[in-house]
Every structure is written in structure tokens, then in C-alpha cells.
Amino acid sequence: MPQWTLIGLLKGKQTAPWPLAEGDDGQTGVLGMPRYDPERCTSGCKACADVCPTAAITLRSETQSEGRLDVDYGRCIVCQLCTEACPTEAMTTSSDWAFGARHRDDLKWSAVATPGSEPQALSPSGFRRSLHIRHVDAGSCNGCESELQALNNPFYNLHRLGIFFTASPRFADLLLVTGPVTYAMHGPLRTAYEAMAEPRWVMAVGTCAVSGGIAEGGYACGHGLEGVLPVDVYLPGCPPNPAAVMQALLMFLGRAKQRVRGGQLVE
């Protein structure tokens, strides 16, 4: 046992300074949501919409001034197929992953992206530096769980931010849901929510929880949290990386700005 204490001490601090200070967030090379540039989009082409497996990209029915496409990042599974299919670089790869949003509409692309407002907490100030989360897996592929589990590894060390996962929904302030809400998890999910004391909030993590994801529909899969629970924070991604989850949690607590507006990252 003493050997492990020594190993731990000799290793020194392994935690990234981010997000409390400038520094490595650990996401070097990670491809995020594809960027849409309507200027480069040519009429008559629908290559991206054709390959999009979740109908995140659809053609606009009527002629509108701001772009030909409806791009809903709440449906995007980051498969990058549109960036490969687009012949004119209207869809390009990016490292934009900080997609935590308070309103579902913030995830839909729009020409006018209002600049980010000052941090504003959804929760009362008493929760600002201490938040307890109950996670519920409502039928995910385990990708989101893998990234949520990574939050407590020494690199991200979520505890230092005063954010903890708790076993009992009675102790939880925030219900963090992953997965598209399968038929069999619908009941247990509702039960967990109803067991929480008020005030209580819900965060949809991953594109499955936001909108149903890749397997939406069918006989058992479900459609995400829409119509199941009231959602306070949406974080699409497939899966959202640990830094994206941290950023969204800090945004919820009023300790970071919401960075996505109109489907684009703004400062």
C-alpha cells in the first residue's frame, strides 16, 4: 500500500489546468460538429442531405435569404459524412464541440448568431459551487458513459469543480440523461425524475438524448427526451467529449458562457 502512496506523489499533479485556466483541454485532433458555410453552397446540390444518416441536414422548402439548408446540430452524430460528400466545402470539419445550449433552437443553424450573453445561471446561486448529478442511462451505446466515466479520471478531475455524481436521485439536483429512452427505460427514467426533490433540472447528454440519434424510431428505440421530461440543457455529440460535458455543466451553473448560438460557436 505505501508504494501506491509514493507512486501517486511521485506522479505529481496530472490534472489539466483547463477550464479554470488557459491550457490543454485534452481534445487535440477531436473532430466536432461540421461547419456550414451557406456562401459556398451551390443550388441544385443536396449531397450532404443525402448522406446525412439522421436527417440533421435537410433542404429548405421555400426560398429564403439565409442559406438553402436547415442544419440541426441537435440531430448531428458527428459522422463527418457531409464534409466528405460536399463538393464545394460548404460543409467542413471543425473542432467545434462546445455545443451545450439552454434552448433547443440554439442548436439549429441560423445566419444571425447573436453574440453570447454574459454567464447566467439556470440554477439558484446556492448550487453555483456544488452540484450533485444523478446519471441515467436510457439506452445509450455506452459511448456517452465512457466519456462521463472519464470525467473522474485524474486528467479532468471533475470533483475539483465541486461537481459530483451521486447514487440517489433524492440527493441529486440535476438528472443527466444519456440514450434515446428505450421503451423499457421509459418507466425507470420517469421514476428517477419523480424521486428528485425540487428544484430539479434535466440535462440531455448526447445526440440520442437530445433527439433520438442514429437509431431513432423503430419498435423499441425511442426519440430522446422530447416529450418525456422537461430539458434544461441540451448537449449534442456522439458522444460529447469530457471537455464538452464540463463546459456544459459550468454553463448550467453560470460559471461559463454558452458558446453556441444559431448553430455556431461565438465568443
Partner 1 sequence: MTVTQSTPQARLRQEPEKVHPAALKDAARKVLDNGGRMQMVYAWYPKPSHIELRYVATVPGQVRFAVWSCEPEGPVPSLTEVAPLLSWYEREVTDLFGLAFTEHPQPQRLVLHDGAIVPRPPFAPDYPPGIEIRAPNQQSIPEIAGVNGDVQLLPFGPIRGDVLESAEFLFFYIGEAILHYTPRLFYKHRGMEKRFEGLGAERAVVLAERVSGVGSVAHALAYCQAVEAAADCTVPPRARFLRVLLAEMERLYNHLYYLGHLCHTTTLKVGEAQGKLLAERAKQLNARLTGSRFLRSILTVGGLRRDLSPKGWLEAELESLRESYAVYARHLETTDSHLDRLITTGRLDRKVAFDQGATGPVDRASGLDRDLRRDHPYAAYGELPVAVAVRTDGDAHARAQVRMAEIEDSIALMQRVLLLLPDGPIKTECEIVPGSEGLGWSESPRGTLFYAVHFDGAGRLARVKIKSPSFSNWRAFPFTVHDTNMMDYAINEASFGLTIAGCDR
Residue 124 binding partner 1, by CB under 8 A: no
DSSP per-residue string spanning 40-60: G--TT--HHHHH-TT--EEE-
Please report how close the Cβ of residue 18 comes to partner 1 at its closest, in angstroms: 13
- Give the interface segment with partner 1, choosing from 35-43, 110-118, 138-146, 251-259 (CB under 8 A): 138-146
**Rounded to the nearest 10 degrees, what angle do helices 242-252 and 143-150 cross at?**
70
* 108, 87 Cβ separation under 8 angstroms: no
- Give the interface segment with partner 1, choosing from 25-33, 37-45, 109-117, 251-259 (CB under 8 A): 25-33
**Nine-digit cell string for 149:** 466515466
* 189, 228 Cβ separation under 8 angstroms: yes
Give the nearer residue to partner 1 in terms of CB position, either 8 or 119: 8
**Nine-digit cell string for 45:** 446540390
Residue 234 sits at φ, ψ, to 5 deg, of: -110, 130
Please report how close the Cβ of residue 30 comes to partner 1 at its closest, in angstroms: 5
Residue 228 binding partner 1, by CB under 8 A: no
* 37, 89 Cβ separation under 8 angstroms: yes
Q: Which residue has the cell 439558484?
A: 124
Give the nearer residue to partner 1 in terms of CB position, either 95 or 110: 95
Residue 132 binding partner 1, by CB under 8 A: no
Q: Which residue has the cell 428544484?
A: 199
Indicate which single residue of 58, 80, 110, 123 sits in contact with partner 1 (rule: CB under 8 A). Answer: 80
What whole-number distance in Å separates Cα of residue 173 and Cα of residue 197?
8
Indicate which single residue of 35, 75, 135, 259 sits in contact with partner 1 (rule: CB under 8 A). Answer: 135
- Reduced to 3 states (helix: H, G, I; strand: E, B; else coil), residue 24 is coil
Residue 247 binding partner 1, by CB under 8 A: no
Please report how close the Cβ of residue 165 comes to partner 1 at its closest, in angstroms: 6
Total number of residues that touch partner 1 (CB under 8 A) = 68
Indicate which single residue of 3, 61, 63, 117 sits in contact with partner 1 (rule: CB under 8 A). Answer: 3
Indicate which single residue of 165, 201, 234, 252 sits in contact with partner 1 (rule: CB under 8 A). Answer: 165
Helices (H), 46-199: 47-51, 81-85, 143-150, 183-194
Straight-line distance from the first to the last Cα atom of the chain, in angstroms, rounded to the nearest whole number: 48
Contacting residues toward partner 1, per CB under 8 A: 1, 3-5, 7-8, 11, 14, 26-31, 51, 53, 77-81, 84, 93, 135-150, 152-156, 165, 167, 179-180, 182-189, 192, 213-215, 218-222, 238-239, 241
